Chain A
Amino acid sequence: MTTLIKAPRKRAAAPQGAAVPPRRRPRGRGRALPYLLLVPAAAVLGLVLGYPLVRVVVISFQDYGLRALFTGRITWAGWANYRTVLDDAQFVPVLLRTVGFCAALVAGTLLIGLAAALMMERLGPRMRTAVTLCLIAAWAVPNVASSLVWQWLFQPVYGVVNWMLTQTHLFGDLTQRDWSGSTYSAFLLVWLLVVWQSVPFVALTLYAGLSQIPRTYYEAAALDGAGQVTVFRVITLPFLRPILGLVTILSVIWDFNVFNQLWILTRGGPNQSTTTLPIWSFTKAFSSNSFGQGAAVAVVSVLLLLAASALYVRRLVRSGEDL
């Protein structure tokens, strides 16, 4: 990056008619070339990401239901969609559930991921490779396939997990257990699945971060007689902080938007008790055909996420200054 962008400035400082040809100022067709190269990307991004991004906001202010879908006649609704959604008796429970479930997922993923990374750092090379391969295998399974495997693992009567839990004799006979039948066990079921597949990214990224910490710091700490906890707090944690921040914000975004796993395993049920904001937006739009309200829920979700990641976004935008 740096060499390329700084080069023209250096040239500008050189006396006129210097030996270097001004290769960044081609005439005619050459000047349009960068724009020509960008046209396909800009067209696709604008049409399929930019335009929908604007349109979702527009739709959230329209009375966009079945009638609009068929007649094409759309009326403005003002804030009506937002009022309906925010006044809905479901709104607060759904919001709290979404935030709570997201927090439980992020906390579980980060704690297990950090523990796994610390463990990997202390293992011998062969054992570490084994752990890496297991993590990557779990990570690689597409989440539709893993959701179906989960259904099978926790299947009443034939599920192997039910069978194993029964064999421990700790919880009684669980073979008939239907995990998606009650709110908490349904959430637990999905939590296990999402954490199982999110830990690999976190653990491998944090491990990469850990291996960047210079050995000399640990040696100095050992000479000073620092205990393990002190070493972790004073050396490891500060070094990991930027990576931890990144991993946390990515986990928050991903876990807030968990859709496939919930939809396939619980459909938001039983009795809509596992309906989170993405599921709510989806069912409003595609089951009850109120696209306006669905869009309003989507906009509210995006705003919530933006607020949660405001700091990170600000850093990104500010870093745009030296792009």
Chain B
Amino acid sequence: MSLPAAVRARRIGLNTAAVLFCAVWIFPVYWMVNTAFKPYGDILKPTPGFLPFPFSLSNFDDAVHKSGFLTDLANSAVVTCSVVLLAIVVAFLAASALTRFRFFGRRSFLVGVLIVQMVPTPALLIPIFLSLKSAHMLNSLFGLTLTYLALVLPFTIWVLRGFLQGIPVELEEAAMVDGASRMRIIRTILLPLVLPGVIATSVFAFITAWNDYLFAYVLMKDQSHYTLPVWLVSFSTSAGTDYGGLIAASTLFALPVVVFFMLIQRRLVAGMTAGAVKD
């Protein structure tokens, strides 16, 4: 069945636009990977090469052996993992209280969480810095972890609460009839059922802690306590930047997040809007 000429022309136009859009949007990512895999020193040519040929890992080798990279990578990993674990436990406890009980102050707590979520984080930088300073917790990974935990909790509580609401109370009532304690119910019935919500929120917590630059930059004073983003930026501003190593390090830094996003791509939009839209 042949299509009318006008319809076919429109379809070709549309697909051309889509291909162009894809090319423009993927280009920076492609160029990052392309640069990272070129041989050391090959990137400084007057005519750029559009394929990483000959293929080489020397930039990665270079980046990994730069001073501080591995320490700061470890710092990032420790802080991020702690934030994810703590956020899930704390938010899950709060969300079960908020959905499974009616108590005085419940509504005010929820409204408070919503409002706190609206406050731009840069405004909190000065007081958090001064408070941690007077508590002698500057340059401490624990202080940084606590800060990130607070930043992710509002969203995490909000999303987990949404998931918990979707689980029928009858399940718990049946367990209660069988004599299970509340804590046991939470552990053996609720937790497994909200697993998708736990995954969605842990991705969010992961990204917040892993990507942050501003707080780590202000709160961490010496290189042995930096996280990876701060290391990357301080590396880029030093004289005579080695862009091959820098871009390879950026690729290593971006990789876990890009993989995460691709894995949860279907749930991504639903998850993002769930925190902000209430229906």
Contact = CB atoms under 8 A, between A and B. Distances in A.
Interface in A297-323: 298-299, 301-302, 305-306, 309, 313, 316-317, 319-320, 323
Contacts of B91: 41
Contact of A291 (B32, B130, B236): B130
Given A44-B90, A149-B247, A123 B14 contact: yes
Among A130, A142, A205, A306, max chain B CB count under 10 A is at A142
Given A152-B246, A319-B278, A145 B94 contact: no
A196 B31 CA distance: 15
A199 B107 CA distance: 35
Interface string A232-276: 000000000010001000100100110110001000000000000
Contact of B93 (A8, A38, A302, A316): A38
Nearest to B261: A140
B261 A139 contact: yes
A122 interface: yes
Nearest to B165: A1
Interface stretch (B51-59, B64-72, B108-116, B193-201): B108-116
Interface string B246-279: 1100110110011011100100111011001110
Given A123-B15, A291-B130, A302 B120 contact: yes
A35 B105 CA distance: 9
A259 B232 contact: no
A30 B159 CA distance: 25
Contacts of B123: 53, 56, 281, 298-299, 301-302
Contacts, number: 289
Contact of A286 (B110, B115, B169, B218): B218
Interface stretch (A89-97, A103-111, A155-163, A177-185): A155-163
Interface size class of B (residues with CB under 8 A): 35 or more
A141 B276 CA distance: 22
Interface residues of A, number: 103
Interface string A12-45: 0000000000011000001001110110111011
A52 B127 contact: yes
Contacts of B116: 45, 49-50, 53
A222 interface: no
Interface in B23-60: 25-26, 28-29, 31-32, 35, 43-48
A295 B39 CA distance: 48
B236 A264 contact: yes
Contacts of B211: 142-144
A68 B278 CA distance: 44
A319 B107 CA distance: 11
B176 A23 contact: yes
A55 B127 contact: yes
A142 B120 contact: no
A226 interface: no
Given A278-B120, A295-B127, A320-B111, 16 more contacts: A24-B101, A33-B182, A41-B91, A45-B153, A48-B149, A51-B127, A116-B21, A134-B21, A145-B253, A152-B246, A152-B247, A208-B270, A264-B213, A281-B126, A295-B126, A317-B111
13 contacts: A41-B93, A41-B153, A44-B150, A53-B119, A119-B14, A136-B262, A140-B257, A141-B258, A144-B211, A260-B214, A264-B233, A313-B118, A320-B107
